[in-house]
Amino acid sequence: MNLIKQENYIANTWVSQGNGSFLEVFDKYTAAQIAKIPMATEAQMEQAIVAAQSAFIELKSWSAGKKSEKLWALRNKIEEHQEALAQLIVKEAGKPISYARNEVSRCITTVETAATEAVRFTGEMVPLDFGPGEGKTAFTKRFPVGPVACITPFNFPLNLLLHKIAPAIAVGCSTVVKPAPQAPLCTFALAMFMDEIGFPIGTMSALVCDIPVAEKLVKDSRMAMLSFTGSEKVGWYLKSIVGRKKVTLELGGNAAVLIDADADLKEVAKKVAVGAYIYAGQTCISTQRIFVVDAVFNEFKTLLTAEVENLKTGNPEDDAVLVGPVIDKGHVKRIEEWVNAAVENGAEVLTGGKVASEANNTFMPTLLTNTKNSMLVSCAEIFGPVAIIEPVADFKAGIEAINDSDFGLQAGVYTNSFENVKAAHENIEAGGIMINNIPGFRIDSMPYGGIKGSGLGREGIKYAMEDMTEPRLMVY
């Protein structure tokens, strides 16, 4: 089975005609073109929406058991094509192969979790046997909201798609997907699997398209919800144009880690180096800001710099490589500019700081210090292999430094002080606080999502299933 499909999937049909222009997809390391997909027309988007509507009518009548079975089938398809999918991710997303394999393995978990949550999902009993409710019984069942518009990012082209599709199937929502233009191929591979398994026509359409067509999807009142994972700017803008839709936004951040004096510095340096630079820092919870209490700052800085310099950068097909290419030239340039601007304003480069290979779009793993929070490398999401390391007076000051950000997705702290652990949970403004771990820790079933600029709502299968449904109370 060739996993590369160069057509849109609309109402369960593969469509090779588009608006005349094409989206070219490149190998992110070699820059070789690997696919060319027609850009969908507005009429095709309309068709997808109409199909999603009619699929919804059927899907919502499916039993939980049937939805679960279909998800098991999907899980098995993914397992069957595990290695090919990993290779595809390497190519279209430039993700190092070991990490790509990890993504596919997580995909299996994601879909399996949805398959097993589907048969557990239910409502709640509502007590109201008092006052005017005396003698009454009440409970809710949860019903799917309707078709869900899904916009997905390039960095986990399969797993972050599945974090929308799997819960949607689990509750009986149809979907229309607009994948990231940089890495749409996994979406179409998934569509091939679903096509083979057999779903009602329109269950999941997938289209690449230009912005106006995408906005049609976002605005259309027949779509009941928007589930978006991507950039902060686009996410919040879309929220303002969705109309009556429910909205889940999984945006980015400038995740921080805080290291206390009693941490095992050598061990932590190893983990933080990975957390900051793996996949060239292109994950939403990549460690971007490293705060270290004064007492051990210099020691940790030295240890970390050494670890960063040990990281292998280069061809993502190489098993030993952790840092592959940046997604495209535009981003390489942006990263370079941000770093240069920081340096010009006084930041010190501890290691890296430059483009590694123009041809391959790689940027050297870069560690900066002496930064200010006004610099983009600190206050904005760098989404590249760049981190800053700064001292803080103490743990409390470290928490304040973490909170001095427009974002709040996840944070990590390394400490053995129970007082500090408690303070971290009480005071760090983020969706998740990882104790003795990097901010990048994620289990696919855990509630995941940000506050402040980092988004709205939670994913994590069960949580997405809740968002994609409404409780319907019955009182008798």
φ and ψ at 229, to 5 degrees?
-125, 125
What tokens does 450 get?
Answer: 């940000």
φ and ψ at 99, to 5 degrees?
-75, -30
CB of 286 to a second copy, least distance (A): 16
Residue 298 CB-density burial (10 A; 0-12 exposed, 13-18 middle, 19+ buried) = exposed
Which of 284, 307, 390, 459 is an active site residue?
A: 284
Beta carbons of 205 and 48 less than 8 angstroms apart: yes
Which of 250, 381, 390, 459 is an active site residue?
A: 250
Beta carbons of 142 and 158 less than 8 angstroms apart: no
User: What sign has the CA pseudo-torsion 211, 214, 216, 218?
Assistant: negative
The residue (of 192 and 256) whose beta carbon lies closer to a second copy is 256
The residue (of 3 and 451) whose beta carbon lies closer to a second copy is 451
Q: Which residues contact 324 (CB under 8 A, 6 or more apart)?
A: 28, 29, 94, 95, 96, 279, 280, 313, 314, 315, 316, 362
φ and ψ at 205, to 5 degrees?
-95, 150
Number of Cβ within 10 Å of residue 201's Cβ equals: 15
The residue (of 64 and 355) whose beta carbon lies closer to a second copy is 64
The residue (of 132 and 212) whose beta carbon lies closer to a second copy is 132
Q: Is 250 a catalytic residue?
A: yes
CB of 436 to a second copy, least distance (A): 7
Beta carbons of 452 and 428 less than 8 angstroms apart: no
Q: Is 134 a catalytic residue?
A: no
With tokens 């402040």, the residue in question is: 452
DSSP sequence for 188-234: HHHHHHHHHH---TTSEEE----HHHHHHHHH-TT--EEEEES-HHH
**Of all helices (H) and strands (E), which one includes residue 262?**
none
DSSP sequence for 335-394: HHHHHHHHHHTT-EEEE--SEEETTTTEE--EEEES--TTSHHHHS---SSEEEEEEESS
The residue (of 50 and 435) whose beta carbon lies closer to a second copy is 435
User: What is the DSSP-derived secondary structure letter of residue 127?
Assistant: -
Distance CA 138, CA 127 (A): 7
Catalytic residues: 250, 284
